[in-house]
């Protein structure tokens, strides 16, 4: 039993380090989502993001293709990282429960 | 979690294959055991299953790598992050379901515990001893339609026996030993003694002696006897 607990403790440590890395990675991503407005046939871009309980629309103007793509990729990565972070939090909760004896392996 | 791990492993292999990197590297370590399903068929169930989140890829000839594609970028949208470990900054690619690390054979007097850069691939690698036992005895299998180079089972088993007394993590060393003995006994049951001997006979005489002494110490005299002949 001690050997199993040692393995689980190691896994818990590893999961907590990984959780911190994903939190850091999320903070490093471009914030918000791009919103497009078409005026007289031209695209103008706004960045929509949350600040406290409000949603802010920040005017960015006309953007090069690469920048639009960058925001799109950041949005996909954000969804991915949040999903993985959620799994990690579940795993940490489970491992802590098992180590406290409140859950079965 | 198990299902996600295997699906992710398959996707990682597909991407490495698509980028032309997979043909220059091989799977090292305990993930070979999972891939032996393709080699042993249903008898592979006789080998204890792997319970590791880490997959190691061995680059036998790091200076000859032709591919110039960043592996971290290739796997980024799968959710992989680049993690730098220790003061020396050993790179590994982390993901809750599967962690990837890279290995190269240790040359000469070693690398003073510094990572070996693999600039074309955007990662670095740890130099490890006894890797030549693996890449000098590699086989190619098809895993879910993907051509993958892995270590011959006898080579992996002998590699585990060689590293057993040297591993700092004794729990992992015991797990490796368990796999080594299970693999060797399975090879004997499949009448592949000649293949075992072929791998063993290529070893340095000092390593042969170590392997035989360990087998005798663990009471596996039958295997030791087969290799000695």
d(Cα B217, Cα B213) in Å, to the nearest integer? 6
ipTM of the shown complex: 0.84
B96 contact residues in A (CB cutoff 8 A): 15, 18, 84, 87-88, 91
- A89 CA: distance to closest CA in chain B (Å): 10
pLDDT computed for residue B58 by the predictor:
97
Instruction: Report residue B76 as tokens.
Output: 């980024």
Can you list the pairs that A61-68 forms with residues at least 24 positions away whose Cβ atoms lie under 8 Å?
A63/A34, A68/A34
Residue B111 pLDDT exceeds 70: no
Nearest beta carbon to residue B81 from set A14, A21, A73: A21
Residues 50-109 (B) with a CB less than 8 A from some CB of A: 53, 76-79, 81, 83, 94-96
In chain A, residues with a C-beta closer than 8 Å to the C-beta of B83 are 21
At B100 the pLDDT is 97
- pLDDT score of B75 more than 90: yes
Please tell me the predicted confidence (pLDDT) of residue A79: 96
Place of tokens 């103007």: A61
Question: What per-residue confidence (pLDDT) applies to B88?
Answer: 86
Q: What is the pLDDT of residues B119-140, one digit of tens each?
A: 889 999 999 999 999 999 999 9
pLDDT tens per residue, range A6-56: 888 988 999 999 999 999 999 999 999 999 999 899 889 999 999 988 999
Asked if A91 and B1 come within 8 Å (Cβ–Cβ), the reply is yes
Q: Tell me the mean pLDDT in the region B77-106.
A: 93
How high is the mean pLDDT of chain A?
Answer: 91
């Amino acid at each position: 039993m001690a050997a199993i607990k040692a393995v689980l403790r190691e896994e818990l440590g590893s999961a907590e380090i990984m959780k911190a890395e994903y939190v850091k990675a999320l903070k490093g991503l471009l914030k918000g989502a791009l919103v497009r407005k078409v005026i007289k046939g031209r695209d103008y871009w706004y960045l929509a993001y949350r600040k406290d309980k409000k949603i802010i629309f920040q005017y960015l103007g006309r953007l090069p293709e690469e920048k639009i793509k960058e925001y799109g990729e950041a949005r996909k990565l954000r969804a991915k990282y949040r999903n993985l972070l959620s799994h990690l939090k579940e795993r940490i909760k489970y491992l802590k429960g098992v180590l406290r004896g409140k859950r079965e392996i | 979690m198990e299902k996600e791990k295997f699906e992710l492993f398959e996707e990682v292999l597909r991407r490495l294959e698509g980028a032309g990197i997979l043909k220059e590297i091989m799977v090292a370590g305990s993930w070979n055991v999972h891939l032996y399903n393709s080699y042993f068929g249903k008898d592979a169930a006789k080998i204890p299953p792997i319970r590791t989140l880490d997959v190691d890829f061995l680059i036998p000839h790091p200076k000859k790598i032709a591919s110039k594609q960043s592996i971290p970028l290739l796997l980024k949208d799968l959710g992989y992050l680049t993690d730098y470990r220790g003061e020396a900054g050993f790179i590994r690619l982390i993901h809750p379901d599967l962690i990837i690390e890279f290995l190269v054979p240790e040359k000469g007097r070693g690398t003073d515990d510094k990572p070996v850069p693999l600039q074309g691939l955007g990662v670095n690698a740890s130099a490890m001893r006894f890797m030549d036992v693996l890449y000098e005895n590699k086989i190619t299998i098809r895993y879910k339609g993907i051509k993958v180079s892995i270590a011959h089972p006898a080579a992996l088993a002998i590699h585990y026996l060689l590293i057993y007394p040297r591993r700092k993590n004794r729990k992992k060393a015991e797990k490796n030993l368990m796999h080594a003995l299970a693999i060797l006994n399975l090879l004997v049951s499949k009448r592949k003694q000649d293949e075992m001997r072929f791998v063993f006979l290529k070893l340095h005489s000092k390593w042969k002696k170590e392997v035989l002494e360990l087998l005798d110490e663990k009471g596996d005299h039958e295997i030791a006897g087969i290799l000695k002949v």
